[in-house]
Amino acid sequence: MRDGGVIGEGFHAELGGLHAERAALADCHAKGADPAGATMYVTLEPCAHTGRQPPCVEAILEAGISRVVIASEDPSEKAAGRGPGILRDGGVKVDSAAGEEATAARLLNQPFRKHARTGLPLVTLKLAMSLDGRTATAPGDSPWISSEQSRALVHRWRAESDAIAIGINTALTDDPLLTARTPEARQPIRVVFDHEARLPLDSQLLTTLDQSPVLVVIAPEVDASALRAAGAEILVADSIQGALADLGRRGITSLFLEGGQTLASAFQAADQLDEARTFVAPVLLGGDQDASRVGGVGSGGPRTDAPRPPAGPPETATGPARQSALSRTVKSVGDDVLITARFREW
């Protein structure tokens, strides 16, 4: 910024792409604006090491930026405050944001912060339910519980995520596409937890590999040669934790769960949910079956969407008795109510 006006802006659009600082400086040059003497505002401290991109502190110094305001620190071992120190040594004034701005920056960077600290992706659960606790409609009814506005929001969330996950029961029942249907959307990797390798070879997922890769999580000693031949990537894991660790090693920092109550229960039992976003629709679906009710028998039946957990704790059939949210928000989306609960902050 200069004289209260924005002369350039940028963000880290994809793994391996320009970091936000370099993207903002490139935007300045594209607009014919000289960044020398300007103030740069960043949500995360500028990096000082070479990875897929060169250090951002070098670009800031070369551009002649006079002041940098940092909203949150970088928790990774390679950072640890090195960037701000180098900037100060180079004559740049460095300030730290506080209050609501600092909190907003930490929440914005939750996937990066968790991955930097644990090597695991941030896990966000999405559910849609009726007033009587149903998460699925009866056969023959419209498959949608939530409103059109809510579904549009879900597509935006998909585009913001590195990967989207369902369980095999959802794949068999709904045959979903799992793409983000928004203009110029970045498509997430599509993940199916399928410990017996039952995903049909003619499913929409496997016939649309040109749109986005499909990764199938299977249990050890299961033959997935047909899925591999069809073009699916195979991840072998004997637990939720193991699958998340492998996804993290692949560079996936955010995982969006849309697999329904069975997969949700498996992740909750493994204590691996960071956030939940639940749409409550103003409808009553009724019915006599419990399988689609939150907390019903369908959440703990003999067939699970997730890999079989190892024997004994910590992943049990019941999991934690209760998980209380650190923070929660409630807002209207169309005719629905969206409840967002954050269980951890990284």
Q: Which CATH number fits domain 119-342: 3.55.50.30, 3.20.20.150, 3.40.430.10, 1.20.1260.10?
A: 3.40.430.10
Q: Which residues pair with 216 in a beta bridge?
A: 192, 234
Provide the angle, in degrees to the nearest 10, between the axes of the packed helices 20-30 and 56-63. Answer: 30
Q: Please report, for residues 37, 210, 277, 284, the alpha-carbon distance to residue 332 in angstroms, rounded to integers and kept in the order given.
A: 43, 36, 13, 18
Look-up: residue for tokens 């990875």? 51
Mean pLDDT of 25-42: 96
Question: What confidence tens digit (pLDDT) does each residue in 51-106 have?
Answer: 889 999 999 999 999 999 999 999 988 777 899 999 999 999 999 999 999 999 99
User: What is 20-108's CATH number?
Assistant: 3.40.140.10
Strands 275-280, 336-342: pairing is antiparallel
Range in 34-43, 80-89, 297-306 with the lowest mean pLDDT: 297-306
Q: What is the band of 320 on the pLDDT scale with cuts at 50, 70, 90?
A: low
Nearest of 252, 232, 159 to residue 192 by alpha carbon? 232
Average pLDDT over the chain, rounded to an integer: 88
Mean pLDDT of 204-210: 98
Range in 154-168, 248-262, 286-300 with the lowest mean pLDDT: 286-300
Report, as residue numbers or ranges, the catalytic residues: 21
**Position 298 pLDDT exceeds 70:** no
pLDDT for the residue numbered 142: 65
Domain boundaries, the chain: 20-108, 119-342
Contact 133, 293 (CB under 8 A): yes
